[in-house]
Amino acid sequence: DAKTTQPPSMDCAEGRAANLPCNHSTISGNEYVYWYRQIHSQGPQYIIHGLKNNETNEMASLIITEDRKSSTLILPHATLRDTAVYYCIVRVFGAGSYQLTFGKGTKLSVIP
């Protein structure tokens, strides 16, 4: 699985959009970008994934650059409950095992 690089921490004002970047310059053509988050003391939670096109669901939007070397997770209206560590993971879709390789992630602090 390709490696990812994320800033260690970010702050965001409550109610504003949180934009979390991720670099994955060595991504292969068959690798997807996944985002998970871990709220303090809880298990990781799936947020969204994508291959080339931008994706949106009820939790977030995922913007992937045209060259696929980087992406941004957008939480449109951050709340205090969005304070968590966010992990960007790149892996092959449909591979035999769905083991996830977690990096250090970005600790997002949503400030009142």
Partner 1 sequence: DTAVSQTPKYLVTQMGNDKSIKCEQNLGHDTMYWYKQDSKKFLKIMFSYNNKELIINETVPNRFSPKSPDKAHLNLHINSLELGDSAVYFCASSRKTGGGTEAFFGQGTRLTVV
**Based on CB atoms, which residue is closest to partner 1, 24 or 37?**
37
Give Cα separations from 57 to 51, 90, 96, 111 (angstroms): 15, 19, 26, 24
Q: Compute the least distance from the CB of residue 46 to partner 1, in Å.
A: 4
**Based on CB atoms, which residue is closest to partner 1, 79 or 93?**
93
Site residues, partner 1 (CB under 8 A): 32, 34, 38, 41-46, 49, 85, 87, 93-94, 96-102, 104
Q: Compute the least distance from the CB of residue 97 to partner 1, in Å.
A: 5
Q: Compute the least distance from the CB of residue 26 to partner 1, in Å.
A: 20
